[in-house]
Amino acid sequence: MATDPQAQKPEADLPVIGDAITPGFLHEIRQKLNREDKVALLAALDDVHEADIAEIITLLSHDHRANFMRLVGRDIPAPVFAELDDGVRDEVVEYIDIDTLVATVQELDSDDAVFVLEDLDTQEQQEVLQKISASDRALLERALEFPEDSAGRLAQAEFVAVPPFWTVGQTIDYLRDNDDLPTHFLEIFVVDPRHQPVGVVHLSEVLRTQRPVNMENILHDDFTVIEADADREDVARLFERYNLVSAAVVDAERRLLGVITADDVFEVITEEAGEDILLLGGVGDENVTDSVVEAARGRFSWLFLNLLTAICASLVIGYFDGSIEQMVALAVLMPIVASMGGNAGTQTLTITVRSLATQEISALNAARVVYREFGIGLLNGILFAVLTGAVGTVWFGDAMLGVVLAAAMIVNLIVAALAGILIPLGLDRAGIDPAVASSVFVTTVTDVVGFLAFLGFATLFLLN
Of 116, 148, 180, which one is at a domain's C-terminal end? Answer: 148
State whether 302 and 442 are in the same domain.
yes
Q: Is 404 exposed, middle or buried (CB count within 10 Å of its CB: 0-12, 13-18, 19+)?
A: buried
Q: What angle do CA 366, 369, 371 make, to 5 degrees?
A: 110
pLDDT at 374 > cutoff 90: yes
State whether 366 and 405 are in the same domain.
yes
Q: Are 449 and 338 in contact (CB under 8 A)?
A: no
| Domain count along the chain | 3
Query: In this predicted structure, what is the pLDDT of residue 258?
Result: 92
Q: Nearest CA to 337 among 393, 407, 428?
A: 407
In whole angstroms, how far apart are CA 303 and each of 274, 419, 439? 20, 21, 12
Q: Nearest CA to 419 among 373, 381, 388?
A: 373
By mean pLDDT, which of 48-52, 297-301, 324-328 is the weakest? 297-301
pLDDT at 278 > cutoff 70: no
Q: Nearest CA to 346 among 442, 434, 274, 412?
A: 442
Q: Are 445 and 452 in contact (CB under 8 A)?
A: no
Q: What is the mean pLDDT of the chain?
A: 86
Query: In this predicted structure, what is the pLDDT of residue 310?
Result: 80
Query: In this predicted structure, what is the pLDDT of residue 30?
Result: 92
Would residue 156 count as lying in a domain? no
| Main-chain phi, psi angles of 256, to 5 degrees | -70, 120
State whether 138 and 171 are in the same domain.
no
Tell me the percentage of the chain whose pLDDT exceeds 70: 91
In whole angstroms, how far apart are CA 438 and each of 182, 287, 299? 44, 22, 16
Amino acid symbol at 182: P
Would residue 7 count as lying in a domain? no
Task: Encode pLDDT of 340-352 as tens digits.
Answer: 998 999 899 888 8
Task: Encode pLDDT of 247-268 as tens digits.
Answer: 999 999 999 999 998 888 887 8
State whether 308 and 260 are in the same domain.
no
Query: In this predicted structure, what is the pLDDT of residue 317?
Result: 86
The residue-averaged pLDDT of 272-278 equals 65
Would residue 92 count as lying in a domain? yes
Task: Encode pLDDT of 380-400 as tens digits.
Answer: 999 999 999 999 999 999 999
Of 280, 300, 332, which one is at a domain's C-terminal end? Answer: 280
With both helix axes pointing from N to C terminus, report the angle between 134-145 and 122-130 in degrees, rounded to the nearest 10. Answer: 150
In whole angstroms, how far apart are CA 382 and each of 209, 406, 412? 67, 8, 11
H helix or E strand, kind and range, residue 50? helix 50-59
The residue-averaged pLDDT of 127-148 equals 89
Of 148, 183, 209, which one is at a domain's C-terminal end? Answer: 148
pLDDT at 453 > cutoff 90: yes
pLDDT at 206 > cutoff 90: yes
Provide the 8-state DSSP code for 167: B
In whole angstroms, what is the distance from residue 142 CA to residue 130 CA? Answer: 14
Would residue 355 count as lying in a domain? yes
Q: How would residue 86 be classed by pLDDT, with cut points 50, 70 and 90?
A: confident
State whether 271 and 168 are in the same domain.
yes
Would residue 3 count as lying in a domain? no
The residue-averaged pLDDT of 89-99 equals 85
Would residue 253 count as lying in a domain? yes
Q: How would residue 160 be classed by pLDDT, with cut points 50, 70 and 90?
A: very high
Q: How would residue 378 be classed by pLDDT, with cut points 50, 70 and 90?
A: very high
State whether 336 and 391 are in the same domain.
yes
Would residue 73 count as lying in a domain? yes
Query: In this predicted structure, what is the pLDDT of residue 287?
Result: 64
Task: Encode pLDDT of 427-437 as tens digits.
Answer: 888 888 787 76
Tell me the percentage of the chain whose pLDDT exceeds 90: 40
Q: Are 340 and 391 in contact (CB under 8 A)?
A: no
- CATH code of the domain containing 358: 1.10.357.20
Beta strands 256-261 and 161-162: pairing type? unpaired
Q: Which domain holds residue 196?
A: 161-280
Q: What does the DSSP assignment read for 323-346?
A: HHHH-THHHHHHHHHHHHHHHHHH
Dmax of the chain from CA atoms? 96
State whether 275 and 298 are in the same domain.
no
Amino acid symbol at 277: I
Q: Is the dihedral of CA 66, 67, 72, 74 positive or negative?
A: positive
Q: How would residue 17 be classed by pLDDT, with cut points 50, 70 and 90?
A: very low
- CATH code of the domain containing 183: 3.10.580.10
State whether 309 and 439 are in the same domain.
yes
Would residue 1 count as lying in a domain? no
State whether 313 and 241 are in the same domain.
no
Query: In this predicted structure, what is the pLDDT of residue 194?
Result: 95
State whether 141 and 213 are in the same domain.
no
Decide which of 299 and 237 is more confident.
237
State whether 317 and 452 are in the same domain.
yes
State whether 267 and 314 are in the same domain.
no
